Amino acid sequence: MNLADPASWGSLDAVAPDYVVVTPTPQSYDPAGYQAGFAGVAKTLASQKWIARCHRVIWVSSTRVYRESGGGWVDEHSPLNLDEAQATSMIAGEVAIRRAATATIIRPAGVYRPEGMLMRRVRVGEGGATTALYGNRIHREDLARLIVHCIDRDVAGQSVPPTVVGADDDQTPTHEIEDWLADQIGVTLTRPSDPSPLRANRRCRNALLEKIGFQLSYPTWREGYEAMLGQA
């Protein structure tokens, strides 16, 4: 389904879905791409006649929406970043969905998977800058399970939070994970001489996951990548 095409959503009018899961992505990585991929898609979805009849919409956003950048902790109630265009578009998407329907916004940290970008770079010996910034992540399977868990709770008549931070229990800097993976794979990393542009530096608190009865299959990146390497 092309989420940016209003005609794609129209086919759901006759179906009248009880639950809708939306995992929007930017059409490009500039502000316009985020505007179209998040705020634009949310506006189109919110305009559908059937949306108000939906039991719950699960909208997958990102922890990029948070303002914190100095290494502090964030949770579901932390201040949002209204100064960056990309984050603002993601926030606008969340707001549009909340206004149109009963919704749960899941804000995942960096989603990793077998042969994702980090693994591909390490396999060819490319490492990132050794900046001591916190990293937050969640295994792709755990994110998918979290989405299903929220729907199952709703079906069972249990409370479902309006916002859920989807992150594992670890905040290891990315370059340390690269070093570990390189040792496991048996490659030597080459790192850039110039530091990478500064990115957000925050730690995601995931205490709400336990409160709603969700258990991570991969509590840290180590379990996740060990499983991936075992499958290779």
pLDDT score recorded for residue 154: 98
Beta strands (DSSP E) in the chain are 19-22, 56-60, 73-74, 103-108, 110-112, 137-139, 163-166, 203-204
Which single residue is written with the structure tokens 């110039």? 194
pLDDT score recorded for residue 197: 59
pLDDT score recorded for residue 116: 87
Which single residue is written with the structure tokens 């379990």? 223
User: 24 near 43, Cβ under 8 Å?
Assistant: no
Task: Per-residue pLDDT tens, the chain, 232 aa: give them.
Answer: 676 677 777 777 778 899 999 999 999 999 999 999 999 999 999 999 899 899 999 999 999 999 999 999 999 999 999 999 999 999 999 999 999 999 999 999 999 998 789 999 999 999 988 877 899 999 999 999 999 999 999 999 999 999 999 999 999 998 999 999 999 999 999 988 766 655 679 999 999 999 999 999 999 999 999 999 987 5
Enter the DSSP assignment of 23: -
Amino acid at the residue 83: D
pLDDT tens digits for range 123-148: 999 998 887 789 999 999 999 999 99
Domains in the chain (CATH in brackets) are 6-231 (3.40.50.720)
pLDDT score recorded for residue 83: 95
Strands 103-108 and 110-112: unpaired
The C-alpha atoms of residue 230 and residue 176 are separated, in whole angstroms, by 20
The C-alpha atoms of residue 223 and residue 227 are separated, in whole angstroms, by 6
**DSSP output for 35-104:** IIIIIIHHHHHHT-GGGGG-SEEEEE--GGGB---SS-EE-TTSPB--SSHHHHHHHHHHHHHHHHS-EE
- Tokens standing for residue 142: 């755990």
